[in-house]
Amino acid sequence: MKLQAIVAAITIGWAMTSMAAEPIKIGVSGPFTGGSAPMGVSMRDGVKLAVAEINAKGGVLGRQIQLVERDEEAKNERGVQVAQELINKEKVVATVGFINTGVALASQRFYEEAKIPVINNVATGTAVTKQFTDQPDNYVFRNAANDTIQSSMIVDQAIVKQKFTKVAIMADTTNYGQLGRADLEKALAAKGITAVASEKFNLKDVDMTAQLLRAKQAGAQVILTYSYGPELAQLANGMQKLGWKVPMIGSWTLSMSNFIDNAGKNGEGAKMPQTFFQDSTTPKRKAFVDSYLKAYNPPAGRIPSPVSAAQGYDSVYLLAAAIKQAGSTDGPAVRAALESLKEKVDGVVTTYDKPFTHDDHEAIKPGMAVFGQVSNGRVVAAQ
Amino acid sequence: MEILLQLIISGASLGMIYAIIAFGYQLTFATSGTLNFGQGEALMLGALVGLSLAGSVHGGPYLNYWLMIPLVVIFGCFQGAFVEWIAVRPAIKIKSEFGWIMSTIALSIIFKNVAENIWGKDDLTFPSPLSDEPFTIFGANVQPMQVVVVVGALLMMAAVEIFNRKSIYGKAVVATSNDRDAAGLMGINTSAVITFSYALSSATAAFAGVLVAPLTLTGATMGASLGLKAFAVAIIGGLTSGVGAIVGGLILGVAEELTGYYVASGYKEVPGLVLLLLVLAIKPAGLFGKVAIKKV
């Protein structure tokens, strides 16, 4: 009897200490291979950088953060598998990530059901944070410039600043492309303009002649784009093939390295909304870029997607602040803390002052994004 | 008018790519009655090997574009012979009707995964040997590389046809296509002929790969959709006719462009598939194919 008590006491004591030291598991879901990989890899590396910094300072609630990274290959069905694995097998406290709007929309319901917060740090589809607004509590947050913000910026740049009147829309057939096209058309309608051509193409299409000719014949002065890097490069190269050159203004994917590299000189001058530039001047941003380059040494000293890296980095700090304020890793408590963050979170994109409320889950507000432009193979602030 | 010409030129250069891959399907079908469903992957491997030799992905460039082509064609020969040896010969030996379908598809998946491991999953740029600047014919813009694609594809097919008709080895190939058993009785090593036809078929696909790569992007997934379209072309044109492959390719390429422009870009793929269904319903041997009578 006495022996049993001792054994029990030791076991409990042991379990307690191992509990105290147990790390906080955070899931990272993104495409680390394929056409969206520049964004996915940069986001993951930004996340890792933030976690390393936090852990070096003693972690959160006295516990270290442990990342569980999964490649969902930008495929909706893989995203669903990853979500279930992270929730049920890995028992993550929260997940950051999602690059592709389609993957986010397919995977998020598992987090909503499990009451586990998700911070979208890259996916931009307007619907992403609106998926569960009919539920009492919405567990989906975002710190990326959504497509409503981006499309109205794009239209503003084309119609108001550059005074174009005839615009063509080029969007791929994915969720991202088609939801973006709808947002662009809405933003154009608000300015009383209808696109002279609105064309579709599939991912992996090798010839864009028909689409571009339709835009050319309709007299388009500018093309507005919503697609991913390789296909955007096909568009830019296709214009070169036809000997037709009009400006490209599009969603932020025009900053992807696989657009810039594959389009080469045909991609010069393309404009897109950005929340972050690699060539930044503020000390905080510069320190972030330096430590990224030092830790991951990307080719040619260029972060594949600086915006994704910065937003990935910030998403971890937002989450860490919420866990600290909640004093626990319980899903509903962390969600409540995210919706009422007391402490200002000093990120590299901006300083987040009460970024979320119960009804507003968008940390990036209109005005926080500015225009970038491709120049000599890099993205710089547009003048 | 210029628009129409522009669409036809773009469609024709795309169509010739389909045609040369379709031609590869025909080569193996003629001798062995089997097809390599990994034809698109043979094209992809050719393009990526070419990129390693002429591009800078693996520390190169080691050779210029034109010198690289013969090496890629030789690589294609070996790759095709390998496919025949692993996937097709066992199926023919046991007279399996469908075994080669699954085994060539399985091999194509393996090739794709190997390529992903060697060259990564990203799309890469293939350095163009000629200027990207288009020149103008009757108001339509043509890139020099598009001309190379059309001429190169036609030359390759012509070379194979001449070889088959004029040389003694070619006559062995033709004899095997006409009647494999009789050719065997006449002392022709039909199994070697079949291996040879697979080598030739993958070599044409690899050649097509390096031709098309400078116009598109290169990557492990580039072969899948091209291989499938070319299969449709082979069916439309007929699996037994070289002219059928060219005409089928041109029809499909031009039809895609015309529909994309005059109807809507979302319907680009539809006419090719409708044509495929029509041909299968009305003339199952293809537009130019000979009707094969299977005696039971």
Prediction ipTM score: 0.81
Contact yes or no for A262 and B6 at CB 8 A: no
**Residues of chain A neighbouring B120 (CB-CB closer than 8 A):** 33
Give phi and psi for A235, each to the nearest 5.
-65, -50
**From the list A35, A210, A237, which residue is nearest B268 (CB)?**
A210
**Residues of chain B neighbouring A219 (CB-CB closer than 8 A):** none
Whole-number Å distance between alpha carbons of A47 and A96:
8
Structural element, H or E, at residue A247: none
- B200 and B193 Cβ atoms separated by less than 8 Å: no
Structure tokens at A30: 């993104």
Torsion sign across C-alpha atoms A301, A307, A312, A315: positive
**pLDDT tens digits along B109-156:** 999 999 988 988 778 888 888 887 888 888 888 888 889 999 999 998
The residue among A198, A206, A208, A225 with the most chain B CBs within 10 A of its CB, best to mutate, is: A206
Structural domains in chain A?
Answer: 2-145+282-365 (3.40.50.2300), 148-274 (3.40.50.2300)
Could you tell me if residue A263 is left (phi over 0), alpha (psi between -120 and 50 degrees) or otherwise beta?
A: alpha
Residue A92, C-beta contacts closer than 8 angstroms, at least 6 positions apart: A25, A26, A27, A68, A86, A116
**Residues of chain A neighbouring B260 (CB-CB closer than 8 A):** 209-211, 214
Contact yes or no for A213 and B136 at CB 8 A: no
**Residues of chain A neighbouring B136 (CB-CB closer than 8 A):** 243
Of A222-236, B72-86, B124-138, the poorest mean pLDDT is in B124-138
pLDDT at B83: 94
**pLDDT tens digits along A303-345:** 989 999 999 999 999 999 999 999 999 999 999 999 999 989 9
Whole-number Å distance between alpha carbons of B37 and A291:
48
Contact yes or no for A240 and B132 at CB 8 A: yes
The residue among A32, A172, A198, A207 with the most chain B CBs within 10 A of its CB, best to mutate, is: A207
Q: What percent of chain B has pLDDT over 90?
A: 34
**Residues of chain B neighbouring A207 (CB-CB closer than 8 A):** 10, 14, 256-257
pTM of the model: 0.83
pLDDT at A11: 60
Label residue A36 by pLDDT band (50, 70, 90).
Answer: confident
Count H helices and E strands in chain A, helices first: 12, 14
Across chain A, mean pLDDT equals 90
